[in-house]
Amino acid sequence: MKRIKLLLFLLAIGISTIFILKDNETIPSKATSIEQKKDVPLPTELHPIVKERSDQLVQQAAKIGIVVMITDGFRSIEEQNTIYEQGRTAEGNIVTNAKGGESYHNYGLAIDFALETTSGDVIWDRQYDRNQNGKSDWSEVVKIAKSLGFEWGGDWKGFKDYPHFQMDFGLTIADLQNGERPEDTSNVADTQ
């Protein structure tokens, strides 16, 4: 009876070893295909079209008496992780729900803005009306940005990111993480 139990025990170990080895065999091939896609280098600056539209936003706002400050553009993974910790493990208020690699800033496709007052202060006051036309400057800037093709973070359901504009070029964060990038659309920029 003891011998049978021992044999069954050894058999069980043998079978589980085979399964473990089999599992390990399938992992390497899967891992390489993901790594290869992720090898696509990350950008190191704003996408040229986003940069151009961002400049146009500042210029068009200036024409109606609003001074727009672009406070942030391209952000590295490390910089993104640092601001993610703000309001969590670090001091301050939570300013983002995106960790490194989860924000359009990390792919050079987003900008943040603020307003400059007549006394030179940089503010995030969404009621401020520097040009005194009865409309809040913030909403006027948002309107211009949208006309230039930007998506506004203030329109998001859930966490609203009022100073944030982005262009996704039809790509999700998952696409970008998988190494997809906006096509070279420099011709489009020329016609605008």
When the beta carbons of 131 and 177 are compared against Zn ion, the nearer one is: 177
Q: Which is nearer to Zn ion, 60 or 106 (CB)?
A: 106
Q: How far is the CB of 185 from Zn ion (least distance, A)?
A: 22
Contacts (CB under 5 A) with Zn ion, residues 94-123: 110, 112
Q: Does 75 bind Zn ion (CB under 5 A)?
A: no
- Residue number closest to Zn ion, CB atom: 164
Cβ at position 107, least distance to Zn ion in Å: 12
Interface with Zn ion (CB under 5 A), residue total: 3
* 65 or 154: CB nearest Zn ion: 154
Under the binding rule (CB under 5 A), the answer on residue 53 touching Zn ion is no
Structure tokens at 79: 């910089």
Do residues 107 and 120 make contact, with C-beta atoms less than 8 angstroms apart? Answer: no
Angle at 71 between CA 90 and CA 56, to 5 degrees: 155
Q: For residues 9 and 156, which CB has a smaller minimum distance to Zn ion in the complex?
A: 156
Distance between CA atoms of residues 166 and 107, nearest Å: 10
Whole-angstrom distance, CA of residue 121 vs CA of residue 119: 6
Stretch that binds Zn ion, among 2-10, 37-45, 51-59, 161-169 (CB under 5 A): 161-169
We find the least distance from the C-beta atom of residue 179 to Zn ion, in angstroms, to be 22
CA pair distance 96, 92, nearest whole angstrom = 12
Beta-carbon contacts of residue 120 (< 8 Å; ≥ 6 apart): none
- Asked if 164 interacts with Zn ion (CB under 5 A), we say yes
Minimum distance between the CB of residue 164 and Zn ion, rounded to whole angstroms?
3
DSSP string, 18-75: HHHHHHHHHHHHHHHHHHHHHTSPPPSS--HHHHHHHHHHHHHHHHTT-EEEEEE---
Interacting residues with Zn ion (CB under 5 A)? 110, 112, 164
